[in-house]
Structure 1
């Protein structure tokens, strides 16, 4: 039987793996669906259902938002020359100011799902609605600044973080991959310079088997080779820890060199995995890996916790 031969240039095109994946318009709706599915029979079912409601509110706010009228050409050109991510805080700020988005989320949650909100979330919504732009901006800065010495309001952090996600994701989705250069470091998003929430191994097409880090702020994804630490680039002795209940779909990829870890979600084991929702559903895995002496490298605004006080030897 005669066989068709692909031309070399076609083979290269088929095998080319995108280095960057920008967020899709239905990102938060898909997150909500995954969180709701994971909530069934889960010990953290109530928490995951709240996460689903929050993601649905994010999608609603995103759908009602309008494209920014700001001209980013000059900023993008400057970032390409300087090798900087175009939406890095504080060089880029969303317009309209994301503080308004925080109040929109609080209003949506309060009006649409009051019976599903935990008391802490109700109090956080009330505080956000009563707060001015200055306080909300300060809280947002504390969440985004890795060198901040002051903790943000822990009750309001998930909602304020969710508002920032909408603002940054909305703008990231409007970029062109050609506007974005390679990341300065594997562990920081090339779009907004934020750390990832987790990584995901994708299936299908040119991306089949490719691993991407998923940004915890703007939801962009950038490619990183498998079995390599996103923090120190080490590829030796990487350890994989998991929960029996989640099988092979979600594991913690732990580095023996820098003692950090990042969860990895595998679509070939569960096609529905979502880095944000599955991260929340595997909080027990964070406790397990913490007991082994590893430090979490990812960021999830739903899991902001105060640092443990130092103890004397």
Structure 2
């Protein structure tokens, strides 16, 4: 069977109701697939040791996800979200499920048990363990709101990993037909968090369509190609790669908002995984920064350090 790849102009001209709007996370394999991809990419990355640590963390996420069941949105909150085109299970809420704090401790236990803990990492883990519930919730608030100067960069990936487990659990059990359309570009319709990267998929009903993947719950939603996933502009879109690098990974830049977000093509590398491939391609980030573009949003597992004068 020959599978046809749609060009951007063709995608924009067809009936969008025929395009699957959402891809909900694969609960049974999401984090284990990410872990395998991270290990595959670690050898060629300048931060290979860190990527292998994140692979161990992703394995811990998969194991923990299989053991939890978070509180789903109530019928009333779903109705409200649909009426006002809001995320159905917003992460930035005062009513965050306290289960996430237990998930954090389980992840720390499993990372320690894997035997990869350095003295520096041990201090990070010990610091997270002794924080009160109020301190941890304040840390989660800062991470989700991208308040970089309030978060220790070494702690943020573990906090985010715990939140990812809880919201992936929620997203995997929500009826996608209940998920509202959002008016705001660049926000997940399930949890409201920005996407980490986008992927042009192959196979079945998703063939040739571009989806952006949420950095928190891993829900994917369709965005037409050659369109900024940050500001919705279709002007000044360009694609950048590394000479001699993988043809499966590009940085999609926008001259309207001067940001970029990475995009992967499964037809060139079927194993492309948005979060993992984004994390392992720091060289492309450096080139984009030198060209004057800023990331639309950070990778959830690599928190940017804040200069001391900020």
TM superposition score normalised by structure 2: 0.89
How big is the shift at 1:230? 1.4
Structure 1 residues 219 and 245: alpha-carbon distance in aligned structure 2, compared to 1, 3 A threshold: farther
Q: Which residue does the alignment assign to 1:72?
A: 74
Per-residue CA deviations over 1:51-103 (Å, capped at 9, x if unaligned) read 110100111111111x2355621211111112111111334745343111111
Structure 1 residues 72 and 246: alpha-carbon distance in aligned structure 2, compared to 1, 3 A threshold: farther
Structure 1 residues 123 and 246: alpha-carbon distance in aligned structure 2, compared to 1, 3 A threshold: farther
For residues 95-174 of structure 1, what are the structure 2 equivalents within 5 Å? 95-111=97-113, 113-114=114-115, 116-146=116-146, 148=147, 150-174=149-173
Structure 1 residues 149 and 274: alpha-carbon distance in aligned structure 2, compared to 1, 3 A threshold: closer
TM superposition score normalised by structure 1: 0.88
How big is the shift at 1:246? 3.4
Per-residue CA deviations over 1:1-37 (Å, capped at 9, x if unaligned) read xxxxxxxxxxx99x92210111111100000010011
> Which SS does the other structure have where 1:302 is aligned?
coil
Per-residue CA deviations over 1:103-142 (Å, capped at 9, x if unaligned) read 111111112x12x234433221111122221111111000
Query: Quick one: distance in 2 between partners of 1:272 and 1:122?
Result: 32
Contact 2:24–2:172 (8 Å) recurs in 1: yes
Contact 2:153–2:303 (8 Å) recurs in 1: yes
Q: Which residue does the alignment assign to 1:4?
A: none
Q: Which residue does the alignment assign to 1:22?
A: 24
Q: Which of these two proteins has the greater Rg computed from alpha carbons?
A: 1
Which segments of 5 or more consecutive residues in structure 2 lack a partner in the other structure? 1-13
> Which SS does the other structure have where 1:209 is aligned?
coil
**What is the aligned-residue RMSD (CA, Å)?**
2.2
Which segments of 5 or more consecutive residues in structure 1 lack a partner in the other structure? 1-11
How big is the shift at 1:184? 2.4
Query: Quick one: distance in 2 between partners of 1:124 and 1:98?
Result: 18
Number of equivalenced pairs = 296
Higher RCO (CA-CA < 8 Å; seq separation 6+): 2
Contact 1:198–1:298 (8 Å) recurs in 2: no
Q: Which residue does the alignment assign to 1:46?
A: 49
How big is the shift at 1:309? 6.7
